[in-house]
Amino acid sequence: MSKLDILKNFNVIYVDDDKEACESLKQILQYYFKNVFITFNGIEALEVFQTIDCHFLIVDYDMPLMDGYEFLSKIREIDENVSAIIMSSYDDKVKLKNAITLNLIDYIVKPYEFEELHNVLEKFTFKIEKNNLYKIQITPNCFYDKTLKQIIKDDIPETLTSYEMKTFEYLLNNKNKIIKYDQLLDILDSSSQKSLISIIHKINNKLPSKLIQNIKDIGYKLEI
């Protein structure tokens, strides 16, 4: 088993205005990642990033509408930790210096060898394993594994449905804050408060205790 097999649990967005390059690299990335999303400019990529669960970004520096540096700067306003690399068609030291501030895994000069891409993917895997980035501690005996979409309680996994996952991750990202009913219903693309109550009940049953509290007439709060 290759250590890169862990990447099968992750999604990647590749941003490049060169459609031929996108198609070529997509075929390689599909071998490693769960889902590969191809976009052709920073504006489109930003929209996709805000609608999916993205774990890794591969970004071309030179693009129309919004270049790679500007795109990743906006990403960092949303998410400081998502892993990313920048590619450039030539070795530009000014661009490299600018990119350092973006908390990147690496910077690749095109054209690149497959071995260089492989090394970058290994760095991403190492970061996942070293920092346990996608395992979130809930209580001393319970954590949430974002890759598997499971609550692990006393070493026993509890898998979440897609609706439960969306609800729980939103509450987890806003832990100890009151989240209004309407906010959660928007996440679920639903207007049924009865369904939301049922989802919260099922999630609470998978947690060590009723950690999701109902704030009467307002919403819910995950207290951890």
Phi, psi (rounded to 5 degrees) for 4: -75, -10
The phi and psi torsions of 191 (rounded to 5 degrees) equal -120, 5
pLDDT in tens, 174-203: 889 999 999 999 988 888 889 999 999 999
Stretch 43-53: mean pLDDT: 91
With a CB cutoff of 8 Å and minimum separation 6, the contacts of 32 are: 4, 7, 8, 121
State yes or no: pLDDT of 93 exceeds 80: no
The residue extents of the domains of the chain are 3-131, 135-222
Q: Tell me the whole-structure pTM to 2 decimals.
A: 0.65
**Strand, coil or helix: what is 180?**
strand
* Angle CA 11–15–16, to nearest 5: 145
Q: What is the mean pLDDT of the chain?
A: 89
pLDDT reading at 131 higher than 80: no
In what side-by-side order are the strands of the sheet with 11-15? 35-39, 11-15, 56-60, 83-88, 106-109
AA letter at 194: K
Cα separation of 54 and 159, whole Å? Answer: 20
For the cut 80, the answer to whether the pLDDT of residue 121 exceeds it is yes
221 pLDDT above the threshold of 60:
yes
Mean pLDDT of 149-165: 91
Whole-number pLDDT of residue 202: 96
12 burial type by CB count under 10 A (0-12 exposed, 13-18 middle, 19+ buried): buried
Q: Does the domain at residues 3-131 carry the CATH identifier 3.40.50.2300?
A: yes
Residue 51 pLDDT class (50, 70, 90 cuts): confident
What fold characterizes domain 135-222? Arc Repressor Mutant, subunit A (1.10.10)
**pLDDT (tens digit per residue) in 56-78:** 999 999 888 899 999 999 999 98
**DSSP-assigned states of every residue in 122-148:** HHHHHHHHHHTTTEEEEETTEEEETTT
